[in-house]
Amino acid sequence: MNAAKRLEIFRRLHEDNPEPKTELAYSTPFELLIAVILSAQATDVGVNKATAKLYPVANTPEAILALGVEGLSEYIKTIGLYNSKAKNVIETCRMLVEQHGSQVPDNREALEALPGVGRKTANVVLNTAFRQLAMAVDTHIFRVSNRTGIAPGKNVVEVEKKLLKFVPKDFLLDAHHWLILHGRYVCQARRPRCGSCRIEDLCEYRAKTSDD
């Protein structure tokens, strides 16, 4: 895909949604961090339902740490893998209190040292909470990047690096949100909604199927 196509794709996505946001509910970097940890192999809707009950009771590292694994589990037991997530969240809160003055660090190395925080989670926090140029590649973004031809790659790290290189600079800060929303609601896995897609004429997947 050439640069002109990529520019037009993101121009249209921006036009349709000038200020894209994550669908996870949060009001602080800490709330976002915990929500993203909980969102692994779970839906944002499911996570939001759980945190809507948790955060009014405990929304700081100290408060969640005080709940303990069993106490926290009661709030998040509707989420998949809640036992292991509860343990990770408690240990993350402990590290934040003991090593970071109860503040969420704004650098990748410190974030990835937290239990339950991998590269994708760190990128979400860096981009969404701290507005840094970072690209969190989940299944939606991986699919859209490969299917459209925006940034094809064999693994998430390859796609991440290509997106950081190829997405036009003016749109890079919000590209994560546009791509994930496009994958979630339009360029879906089993039945992509090509007929109602704003970038259909620029998409290489659509061009290939048309040629076939």
Residues 154 and 166 sit within 8 Å (Cβ to Cβ): no
Q: How far apart are the first and last CA of the chain?
A: 19
Q: Is 203 annotated as a binding residue?
A: yes
Q: Is 187 annotated as a binding residue?
A: yes
- Contacts of residues 188-193 at CB distance under 8 Å and 24 or more positions apart, as own/partner, are 189/139, 189/143, 192/147
What 3-state DSSP class applies to 24? coil
- Catalytically active residues are 120, 138
Question: How many CB atoms are located within 10 Å of the residue 62 CB?
Answer: 12
What single-letter DSSP state applies at residue 195? Answer: G
Residue 14: CB atoms within 10 Å: 17
Confidence at residue 208, expressed as pLDDT on a 0 to 100 scale: 57
pTM of the complete model: 0.88
pLDDT tens for each residue of the chain, 212 residues long: 899 999 999 999 999 999 999 999 999 999 999 999 999 889 999 999 999 999 999 999 999 999 999 999 999 999 988 999 999 999 999 999 999 999 999 999 999 999 999 999 999 999 999 999 999 999 999 999 999 999 999 999 999 999 999 999 999 999 999 999 999 999 999 999 999 999 999 998 865 554 44
119, two tokens? 């590269």
Residue with tokens 């989420």: 79
Contacts of 85 (CB under 8 A, 6+ apart): 37, 38, 40, 76, 79, 116
Question: At 168, is the secondary structure helix, strand, or coil?
Answer: coil
* 93 is known to lie in a ligand binding site: no
CATH numbers and ranges of domains, the chain: 3-20+135-211 (1.10.1670.10), 29-129 (1.10.340.30)
